[in-house]
Amino acid sequence: MLERLRSVPTELRNEQSAQLCRALAPFLNKGQKSLTVAIYAPMAHEVNLLLLLNMYPQHHFAVPRCREARRMDFYHITRPEEQIQPDSRNIPAPIEGLTYIPPQQFDIIIVPGVAFTAQGARLGYGGGYYDTYLPQCPQATLIAAAFPGQILESIPTEAHDLTIPHIITPSNFRQ
């Protein structure tokens, strides 16, 4: 799957990332209410959700920094080009000194993954960070934004794997 994702031409990935960000509108257009939204800083093969910062300036966006023992913390970002840098594992992460956002403050969490099913099963990267973090956020709406090639009929799951109720693709979305 990772090889397939890495083989998508950059121009197509950028176009589909923009389509996915537009497809998130039903979740992010909540009148004048400012939402707190967890996104991720994308690796080269992932959906670029950083576009949402310009599309929805009224919202507060945060990205994760992975810690030891499958822990991660989220930090508020406003200028990703200045506030996100590769960590020691070369994963894009927020720089030190940004405002910490506690799990109970999130309205929406957009979850990364390698593959998904239309029913909401998620295949992550194997670290268990989101599987550990998401139970702390029962109030948050969980969403995955996926390229078409990431949607499979079935994927291996384990008992601790959480279902993502909203899987968004560039051409359609499920609520």
pLDDT at residue 126 in the model = 81
Give the pLDDT confidence of 80-136 residue by residue, as tens digits: 999 999 998 888 999 999 999 999 999 999 999 999 998 999 998 888 899 899 999
- Do residues 80 and 87 touch, judged by C-beta distance below 8 A? no
pLDDT mean over 8-27: 91
Give the pLDDT confidence of 33-80 residue by residue, as tens digits: 899 999 999 998 999 999 999 999 999 999 999 988 889 999 999 999
Q: Give the closest residue to 175 by CA, choosing from 5, 23, 63.
A: 23
**Mind listing the domains of the chain with CATH numbers?**
2-168 (3.40.50.10420)
Residue 34 CB neighbour total at 10 angstroms: 12
pLDDT at residue 7 in the model = 84
